[in-house]
Amino acid sequence: MAKMKLPFGTISIPPRSRELVLEALDAKRVSCGRFVREFEGRFAKIVGTKHCVAVATGTDADALALAVLHDYGAKPGDEVIIPSLSFVATANAVLHARFTPIFVDIERHSLNINVSKIEAAITEKTRAIMPVHLMGKPADMDPIMEIAAKYNLTVVEDAAEAHGAVYKGRNIGSIGHLGAFSLYVAHIISTIEGGAITTNSQEHAEILTSLRSHGRACSCLSCVLSSTQSYCPKRFDSQTGEDIRFTFPRVGYSCKMNELEAAVGLGNMDLYEEIVNTRHDNLMYVLSRFDTFSPYLASIKEDPWERIGPHALPIIINEQASFSRTQYTAYLEERGIETRTLFASMPTQCPGYEYLGHKLGDFPVAEYMGRFGLHIGIHQELGLAHMQYFLDVTEEFLTKYQK
């Protein structure tokens, strides 16, 4: 067969993004301003929430969404329940928000948190559950929300990879109390780097606006000063003359999105439906044919009650296979198909988390994925011919290597 190139990811930078970038540069207004505000409004509309607060990275989105809890009595060292399998940013963000990550193993068929194990992980220090919609496959949100209501916990959806995902008629990122998205290069809506937090709570949105700017007292959802450069009547206290921009009622961060990133994101959103539909078509083309590789390889499935956010194609090498992940990925890479490993069990396969005291075997499903999982791209610059090429290469590999 003729060799094709399947790079893992891409970013769309349409002409409008370029025009807006130049407009911001010409105006010399490149920090968080009116383009960021426009991006926030449009992103909230796509997700179906009342508010969106844009930040510098997806990790910041997770961390700030959790840091909101400090305004409601949470203390440093309190606990947040997360799945053991995710990109390490999920656990890092818990620590950045001054909490302790409590890990729960995943389900093999969905790659998401095993809901039946959540209650056993809850203690008197638990403040939140942060499910991850890994590879855009929605976590089982109804029972998660029921558990959260039962124990008075906050739910933060880590929707980093779940742009366009739908669970039982509701958009991912609008079901929990807050949703956290990554806007990194390879994602459906990208701002190059960047993140976004969605919520229906105005109070949460105001706290987030403060948190992303050092925790300062300024928390207006639309900042007159940064978007129009005009005088703000709220800026100075009428009694003391104190500048509210230098008053800090909470410990904050420095992670605002800038105008150039927002400009790229606005152009991406013009193409949102086209991008998400192309990627979904690519994903479903492969998934509808993937059973051909059973029992040696497996992937996720799109259930009737959901729409997967088409981030990438996960692949699991099953126990029945006589080949290694190294052999398979090398075969794909040599034929132009770029691969990524399917993350790892954060508490037991990421050395940075050894200090928590977990040992191999504590999270067997996540650990299996860390050893035998991978994923490839399905992005908008690929088409069904590329997907068929991947299927053909995999079939050729199995013919040669599977005994």
What digits encode the pLDDT tens for the residues 244-278?
667 778 999 999 999 999 999 999 999 999 999 99
Q: Which of 135, 200, 202, 142 is nearest to 173 (CA)?
A: 200
Q: Which CATH architecture has domain 271-401?
A: Alpha-Beta Complex (3.90)
Are 160 and 173 contacting, i.e. CB atoms less than 8 angstroms apart? Answer: no
Average pLDDT, the chain: 94
Q: Which ranges in the chain are annotated with CATH 3.90.1150.10?
A: 271-401
In words, the CATH class of domain 15-269 is: alpha beta
Q: What is the dihedral of CA 243, 249, 253, 256, to 10 degrees?
A: -50
Q: Say how far apart CA 131 and CA 151 lie, in whole Å.
A: 16
pLDDT higher than 60, residue 213? yes
Q: Which ranges in the chain are annotated with CATH 3.40.640.10?
A: 15-269
Task: Report helix, strand or coil for 180.
Answer: strand
In percent, how much of the chain has pLDDT > 70? 93
pLDDT band of residue 225 (cuts 50, 70, 90) is low
pLDDT higher than 80, residue 233? no
| Predicted structure pTM score | 0.93
Radius of gyration for the alpha carbons in the chain, expressed in angstroms and rounded = 22
End-to-end Cα spacing for the chain: 23
User: What does the pLDDT average to over 318-328?
Assistant: 97
Residue 221: the pLDDT is 64
Q: Say how far apart CA 362 and CA 347 lie, in whole Å.
A: 9
Residue 9 identity (one-letter amino acid): G
Listed in order, strand segments (DSSP E) in 267-372 are 297-298, 306-307, 313-317, 339-341, 344-345
pLDDT band of residue 220 (cuts 50, 70, 90) is low
Q: Say how far apart CA 105 and CA 114 lie, in whole Å.
A: 6
Are 109 and 301 contacting, i.e. CB atoms less than 8 angstroms apart? Answer: yes
What digits encode the pLDDT tens for the residues 280-294?
999 999 999 999 999
**Lowest mean pLDDT, pick from 116-125, 144-153, 168-177, 218-227:** 218-227
pLDDT higher than 70, residue 346? yes
Are 313 and 283 contacting, i.e. CB atoms less than 8 angstroms apart? Answer: yes
Residue 217: the pLDDT is 80
What digits encode the pLDDT tens for the residues 148-194?
999 999 999 999 999 999 999 999 999 999 999 999 999 999 999 99
Residue 352: the pLDDT is 96
Give the DSSP H or E segment for 103. Answer: strand 100-104
Provide DSSP, 20-81: HHHHHHHHT--SSSHHHHHHHHHHHHHHT-SEEEEES-HHHHHHHHHHGGGGGT--TT-EEE
User: What does the pLDDT average to over 46-61?
Assistant: 98
